[in-house]
Structure 1
């Protein structure tokens, strides 16, 4: 699908990709383009639109390059960050001939929101380059919102780990299992955001190089680069905290399991001596004088109680329970 936009009084206005719309269009957004869409844009602008496989190549030379006066920049962008399984995909920004072309096979909410906001509020953009900078700023702003939300979720997980609400050990174990799953999802999301920020940092550096003579853009590019760097540092700290919470959760689970095993071991130790006494007097040999005692039965019961009470008293005195 191809959606074209023109700048009119600072606003983004949808235009047709045929007729007069071609000349007025400043931003051409290609979402999951077909072969026919690629052929149309290539014929329209005289550029070679990269394929999906070419966009996913990891070499720096394949992600940031120029062909004549046309610049190609590919960055990893996250999508569906509000869902359990976020996505990350490559988005190529093509800048040339006074137009911005975006090629993507994912649906980040930033693109839709940017177009909607641009239709209501002037973006302060005069050309394709300033439009690209505004779009990148929106992408970085969205990443900042997601990272901030992840930070809040991590704080909630920390509260649940160190101050569990459940009093029963079985309930706490179930809670810890759920926490482990949430920790894994947050780490997956943070890893995707870190990959995205890393590629956006490269794009910002490349933009600084190709727009070196345009003073109006230098400040915005430097600010964009600083924002990306600070977000990358913050996400790295959050990632370290997630690993700490993972270790803490596993430690809590181990403590709960050890407590259960300790109780079982103490009970086995306490009831072993009475079992020994009962076993002795349950053998029924012929020559056992205790079998004929009048007080043999209560004495055996007393011996079993004493055999259980003494180990229990010793264990409590040592603080093992």
Structure 2
């Protein structure tokens, strides 16, 4: 899928792709070209503009030389951003920003939400949307804002889970809470990785601004975004400690519930131990057992077993073990 945008009076306007045979004819004037799971024809259309588009295998490489580099006058910056697959599965995938003097090209194979919300509000970003550089910084700002929203959402979920765990939660609710905390911890890990890769990309781009006509203004914007990334990183560390605390608290409550169950079973087993001993004694096949020939023998044995169980219970109660 290929989306091409130009600057409008409010935000970015999408260019209608009417020419399906030669899509490159419609995108030559675009300031931003967004490639989402692109077809071969769409890749060819972008490459006809003199821009080499990396493959998904290239984007997934973790070497710094494959993530951040400059080629043919274009800056290639690959970051990792949380998003969804076409099947609705939440993943964290690579997104490549190709910044040339005339346009910005983004390549992605999943759907981060900022790419859907940014075109309508591009003019309200700090950088604006008049040039490819400002669109790039505005899109980074949108991604950073989205990560901040996700971190706030994680905090709210942890608040709700903590209130449930520390309250009167059933074993089923504790199990659900543990799963929910695990999912939030996984999402937090994806966000922290995204923040790290965006910080590296901004640092790389900031170093290439020397000699740029508007380099001073762009440097000020980048400096502000780097501060935002640092603040979110600190918030992420705080939430990481909260996730660990929530996991420990949930496991502790589960252990308490299990201990109560084991305690009840143990008490029942101990209460039945003396009656079992008495029944075992009267179950032995010795010839000289006087009680076996008496009419009161059976009631006496039953009363002795009940009395031993009650005496054991009274002793436990006196010792405050129950």
TM-score by length of 2: 0.88
Contiguous gaps of at least 5 residues in structure 2:
18-22
- The 3 A distance-change label for structure 1 pair 182 and 122 is closer
Matched, 1:236 2:206: no
How far apart, CA to CA, are the structure 2 residues paired with 1:118 and 1:208? 21
- The 3 A distance-change label for structure 1 pair 122 and 201 is closer
Counting matched residue pairs gives 313
How far apart, CA to CA, are the structure 1 residues paired with 2:138 and 2:238? 27
Matched, 1:129 2:133: yes
How far did residue 289 of structure 1 move? Answer: 2.6
Cα contact 2:102–2:132 (8 A) shared by 1: yes
3-state SS of 1:102 partner:
strand
Contiguous gaps of at least 5 residues in structure 1:
166-171
Post-superposition CA distance 1:12-43 (Å, at most 9, x none): 12225658754531111111112222221111
Matched, 1:37 2:42: yes
Query: Residue 185 of structure 2 corresponds to which residue in structure 1?
Result: 187
- The 3 A distance-change label for structure 1 pair 296 and 238 is same
How far did residue 301 of structure 1 move? Answer: 3.6
3-state SS of 1:25 partner:
coil
Post-superposition CA distance 1:52-83 (Å, at most 9, x none): 111111011111111142111110011139x9
How far did residue 122 of structure 1 move? Answer: 11
Query: Residue 20 of structure 2 corresponds to which residue in structure 1?
Result: none
Cα root mean square deviation, aligned: 2.6
For residues 1-321 of structure 1, what are the structure 2 equivalents within 5 Å? 1-9=1-9, 11-16=11-16, 21-44=26-49, 46-80=50-84, 85-118=89-122, 124-165=128-169, 172-213=170-211, 214-283=215-284, 285-293=286-294, 295-321=296-322
- The 3 A distance-change label for structure 1 pair 85 and 239 is farther
Post-superposition CA distance 1:112-171 (Å, at most 9, x none): 111233489997332111111111000110111111101100111111111134xxxxxx
- The 3 A distance-change label for structure 1 pair 234 and 119 is closer
How far apart, CA to CA, are the structure 2 residues paired with 1:275 and 1:182? 46
- The 3 A distance-change label for structure 1 pair 9 and 291 is closer
3-state SS of 1:24 partner:
coil
How far apart, CA to CA, are the structure 2 residues paired with 1:87 and 1:5? 26
